[in-house]
């Protein structure tokens, strides 16, 4: 049926398949509990779980609103990408005004519900920061997506912002700066990997037309920037471990380094895995190693 097909096209534009990215609030939620023993011991598990679930939904709404903006502003550029050229807006199968109405509804609903259920100021500010980051990244005349180095740096800011959303579900303090910077650097490591793949697997004409910042990057600059962010992540994560006297965490670093190297290798072999890092978890090797790494980090905490 035509109406049903149109509905499906709008759903595709919302990119709901990227919902796992909003799970990035969970590390912030868990970190708050682990770093505040009083909060952990006094946690009301049903209430805390309910708040976490609601925060996930609100984060997903804001993230989806950002994808709508990205869908609209990137349509002229996506036409030059071998896969993204088939997106519904690029093919003029859906309407920009309808997408803008959906954006407004998602933003209004998310902020209204957050105001009612999370009256503490920081949580609402975190959601607003996530929304503003999407606007600054995508919308002219600023459109930091087109500025070399700043493009991935702002895009990866979603990492610490989502971390703060999770942290502020229960708390009204702030995590150590070293921990936030490490999450930022890890996100930037992933985003630069995405650009490495685009630079390698798209032709010069395609990459320049699709992402303007790629015209101003060299492959060597991208690789060096990726390595820099990987090292910055390890350094600031180590600093965090020392600051909170979480010394056993340092024992996990060889395993974390292997994880980073696995992703670096993947970014030079497969554009799809680099562009959608969550898809790597469908690879059994990545999935098993991710679980293994999570167990290593848990053991480091238990025996700190």
DSSP, residue by residue, 231-290? HHHHHHHHHHHHHTT-GGGGGGHHHHHHHHHHHHHHHTT-HHHHHSGGGGGGSHHHHHHH
- Is the pTM of the predicted complex or chain greater than 0.85? yes
Residue 21 is predicted with a pLDDT of 87
Percent of the chain at pLDDT > 90 equals: 44
Burial class (CB in 10 A: 0-12, 13-18, 19+), 169: buried
Q: Could you tell me the CA-to-CA distances from 192 to 1, 41, 44, 73, 198 in Å, in that order? A: 42, 40, 40, 21, 10
Domain ranges of the chain: 1-172, 176-304
Structure tokens at 263: 């992703």
Q: Could you tell me the CA-to-CA distances from 269 to 77, 105, 208, 277 in Å, in that order? A: 24, 40, 20, 13
- Angle subtended at Cα 50 by Cα 59 and Cα 167, rounded to the nearest 5 degrees: 55
CA–CA dist 203, 219 (Å, integer)? 12
Q: Where are the alpha helices (DSSP H) in the chain?
A: 2-14, 25-35, 37-41, 45-78, 96-117, 121-138, 150-155, 158-167, 177-201, 204-210, 219-243, 253-267, 271-275, 284-302
128-181 pLDDT, tens digit each: 999 999 999 999 888 898 888 889 999 999 999 999 999 999 988 999 999 999
Tell which CATH architecture fits domain 1-172. Answer: Orthogonal Bundle (1.10)
CA–CA dist 227, 54 (Å, integer)? 36
71-102 pLDDT, tens digit each: 999 888 877 777 778 888 888 888 899 999 99
Q: Can you tell me the mean pLDDT for 189-199?
A: 84
Q: For residue 105, is pLDDT > 80?
A: yes
Q: Are 10 and 94 in contact (CB under 8 A)?
A: yes
Residue 146 is predicted with a pLDDT of 87
Q: Can you tell me the mean pLDDT for 264-268?
A: 76
212-259 pLDDT, tens digit each: 778 788 888 888 999 999 999 999 999 999 998 888 889 889 999 998
Q: For residue 124, is pLDDT > 90?
A: yes
Percent of the chain at pLDDT > 70 equals: 91
Non-local CB neighbours of 250 within 8 Å, separated by 6+ positions: 238, 241
Structure tokens at 267: 């970014």
What DSSP line would sit under 142-155, residue for residue?
A: T-GGGSTTHHHHHH
CA–CA dist 139, 157 (Å, integer)? 16
Q: Can you tell me the mean pLDDT for 198-223?
A: 77
Q: Are 48 and 189 in contact (CB under 8 A)?
A: no
Q: For residue 1, is pLDDT > 50?
A: no
Q: Which residue has the higher pLDDT, 283 or 251?
A: 251
């Amino acid at each position: 049926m035509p109406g049903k097909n149109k509905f499906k096209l709008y759903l595709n534009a919302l990119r709901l398949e990227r919902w796992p990215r909003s799970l990035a609030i969970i590390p912030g939620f868990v970190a708050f509990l682990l770093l505040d023993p009083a909060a952990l011991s006094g946690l009301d598990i049903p209430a805390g779980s309910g708040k976490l679930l609601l925060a996930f939904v609100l984060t997903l709404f804001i993230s989806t609103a950002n994808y709508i903006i990205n869908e609209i502003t990137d349509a002229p550029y996506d036409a030059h990408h071998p896969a993204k050229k088939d997106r519904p807006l690029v093919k003029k199968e859906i309407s920009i005004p309808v997408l803008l109405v959906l954006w407004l509804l998602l933003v209004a609903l998310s902020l209204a519900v957050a105001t009612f259920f999370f009256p503490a100021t920081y949580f609402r500010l975190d959601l607003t920061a996530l929304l503003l980051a999407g606007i600054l990244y995508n919308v002219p005349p600023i459109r930091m997506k087109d500025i070399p180095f700043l493009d991935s740096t702002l895009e990866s800011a979603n990492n610490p912002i989502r971390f703060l959303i999770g942290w502020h579900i229960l708390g009204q303090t702030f995590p150590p700066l070293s921990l936030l910077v490490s999450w930022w650097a890890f996100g930037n490591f992933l985003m630069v990997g995405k650009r490495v793949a685009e630079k390698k697997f798209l032709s010069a004409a395609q990459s320049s037309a699709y992402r303007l910042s790629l015209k101003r990057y060299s492959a060597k600059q991208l690789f060096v920037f990726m390595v820099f962010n990987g090292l910055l992540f390890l350094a600031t994560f180590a600093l965090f471990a020392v600051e909170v006297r979480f010394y056993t965490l340092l024992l996990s670093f060889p395993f974390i380094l292997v994880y980073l190297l696995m992703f670096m290798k993947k970014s030079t072999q497969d554009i799809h895995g680099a562009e959608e890092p969550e898809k790597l978890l469908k690879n059994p090797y990545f999935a098993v190693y991710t679980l293994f790494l999570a167990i290593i980090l848990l053991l480091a905490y238990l025996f700190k």
